[in-house]
Chains A and B, each alone.
Chain A
Amino acid sequence: MIKVENLHKSFDKVDVLKGIDATVNQGEVVVVIGPSGSGKSTFLRCLNLLEKPQQGKILFEGKNLLDADTNINELRQKMGMVFQNFNLFPHKNVLENITISPTQVKKESPEKAKAHALELLDQVGLSDKADSYPSQLSGGQKQRVAIARALAMEPTVMLFDEPTSALDPEMVGEVLNVMKSLAQSGMTMVVVTHEMGFAREVADRVLFMADGIIQEEGAPEDIFTAPKNPRTQDFLGKVL
């Protein structure tokens, strides 16, 4: 579904991605782990072109996102993104946060968008917060609304950029649970995270990134129990 070839990205001469090759298959949950500064967030943000890579190919549903004639706005509708800092719209209430893009971008009728939004809120366990404003929610609630907001566009793949890193520890669980049930429903997901437990339990495949390249990839049991690359061994030795 997503195929990345030889992806390079640098910021002001600092090379962050030094040639990434990766594939994400339909229905697969790919978890990206690695030390801070390894380029894993940049890699994820390149997938929907929030960062523009200098070199390489990103094939999504057969089209290269880096081609000049690709309509990126259309493709982004199919790729939901969840951010570390939630990025809810503070001037809109929860319901409006979820319906604004379906009504404005996909031109769905307000009634349909609202009904869908309420369904999604039920799915993330926040039916009672439809009329609240983001400032009235806890971090875990905000992130669940952000997931519902991304799902409202009915994406075919969901990108998660360290979705639990900004949360208080007691709220991590509620967000991971929502993500787990999403994975069980068959959603294709790419997750950048430090939650090794989640990676182990939910991932179909784990990518270990360091120094701007993918050092090792494989099934979670292989990576976590028998890492081959010394960088992976070193990293897992520190975090586990």
Chain B
Amino acid sequence: MKHFKKYFSILMLAIIGMSFFIPIKADANTEDKIYDRIQEDGVLRVGLSADYPPYEFHTTIDGKDTIVGIDILIAEKIAADMGVKLKIEEFGFDALLGALKTGKIDLIISGMSPTPERLQEVNFSDPYMEVKQRVVVRKGEEERFNSVNDFDGIKVGAQKQTTQEDLAKNELIGSQVVSLQKFTDIILQLQNKKIDAAVVEGPVAEAYLSQTEDLSFADNVQFADADKQTAVALSKEAPVLLERINETIATIKEENLVERYKKEASALMFNEESFFEKYASYFLKGTGFTILLAIVGVFFGAILGAILAIMKISANKLLKIIATVYIEYVRGTPLLVQIFLVFFGTNVIGLDLSALASSLIALSLNSAAYVAEIVRAGINAVDVGQMESARSLGMNKFQAMKLIIMPQAIKNILPALGNEFVTVIKESSVVSVVGVSELMFQAGVVQGASFKPFIPIVIASIIYFILTFGLSRVLGVAERRLGAND
């Protein structure tokens, strides 16, 4: 018994001793590297998808393109309370969570609601807004939709990966949900009768409907779970940051700042300048970036492609295999996937590249595979007798390549390289997903800001056509000149 008592007291001591360590461990949990880094750099990086007025959208202020909206004002308030500068990073809505998880941004403030799926990946702050979800239909068709039971077989649009998409799937019985990338796509499809209804967030829908004559709310349709909360998303490993954000949100609620922000945003949404006055600069900027992407992509693609082509025709088996695998892999996967691979992949290996840099790299790497085949075909098209006669004159392989084969191959390669340039101009539109402000991205921005979903796409298509058709003509002339020397 005595022994037992002794052991018992030792055990108790051990437990007491351990209990000293537990709180210490809990303290270590409040360590927040992300918060420390923000304080150190003095910059808070907030990601959003700026095609979602009144939350976030582009407008021209004093001739300068600016992202404005409720979420921006909230982000500014959070940054100000933390005493750091705010940096806005634009992404497609789909790419936001990936960007947050790979550390490209610190927060997402983009009208995002906490869902169980998202909560598995990231943390959310307290909600800063509660919003109603509403059903939008074409004017005159409101009668058709009186309850959630009237949607059997009806195509209902919603933005991909959003609360609205879940609502449309779960509550509109029998509906066929059409998930679209951008909000403006939904409006466009609804207007063009591709879909017959859409689930849209209240403030967003109100803003659009005040600008379009042909759409209307179907307010008889009531969702059971219609009130959604909007919150700030952040990493799970940032407890201090979460605390600071929640403090700011508490202030915002206390002072009812959201109402003020809404008014401020609405005032910016509708000003009276003409469409072209307001948005010409967006298209110009976008065209500039598109041309830059194509030039850099083809330039580095050509250098890398030539190296790959030489590897592929070399006698060294290893080089040959490397080049072949690379070329086949790149040609066999979509550019979109490659862009995500580069953009997020560089983060995984510890490089923080901007969206533009990632896109330039991805386009160059992609183009290289196609150029390699162009170069290889160009070299192969030179008669084998040329190599034989060069070698029989005592030239080594390198001299023969440089002096005899390449100058002739160039004439085969240049026209095809021109076509590759045209292709890259068109393909570069894909990089809009990571937020590079090229032409397609800017068209999306104008769609969001102007409440005109169709016109910006038409304008973008015309600009693309002018670029590619003009270039083809120029290349045609150059090709004839080159041919004239033979």
Interface residues of A, Cβ cutoff 8 Å to B: 48, 50, 73-74, 76-77, 79-81, 83, 85, 87-91, 100-101, 104-106, 133, 135, 146, 149-150, 153
Contact = CB atoms under 8 A, between A and B. Distances in A.
B400 to A, nearest CB: 10
Given A73-B396, A87-B383, A105-B399, A50 B391 contact: yes
B176 interface: no
B389 A87 contact: yes
B385 interface: yes
Nearest to A100: B403
B394 interface: yes
Interface residues of B, number: 19
B388 interface: yes
B485 to A, nearest CB: 8
B147 interface: no
Nearest to B395: A105
B188 interface: no
B392 A76 contact: yes
Contact of A89 (B391, B396, B404, B486): B404
Contact of B385 (A85, A100, A135): A85
Nearest to A81: B392
| Majority SS at the chain B contact face | helix
Contact of A149 (B383, B393, B396, B407): B393
Contacts of B407: 91
B408 interface: yes
Contacts of B66: none
B386 interface: yes
Contacts of A106: 394
A83 B388 contact: yes
Contacts of B386: 87, 89
Contacts of A85: 383, 385
A101 B393 contact: yes
25 contacts: A50-B388, A50-B392, A73-B391, A73-B394, A74-B394, A76-B392, A83-B385, A83-B389, A87-B386, A87-B388, A87-B389, A89-B389, A89-B408, A90-B486, A91-B408, A101-B393, A101-B394, A101-B395, A104-B403, A105-B393, A105-B395, A133-B486, A149-B393, A150-B393, A153-B393
* 6 closest residue pairs by CB, A with B: A77-B394, A87-B389, A81-B392, A101-B393, A87-B385, A105-B394
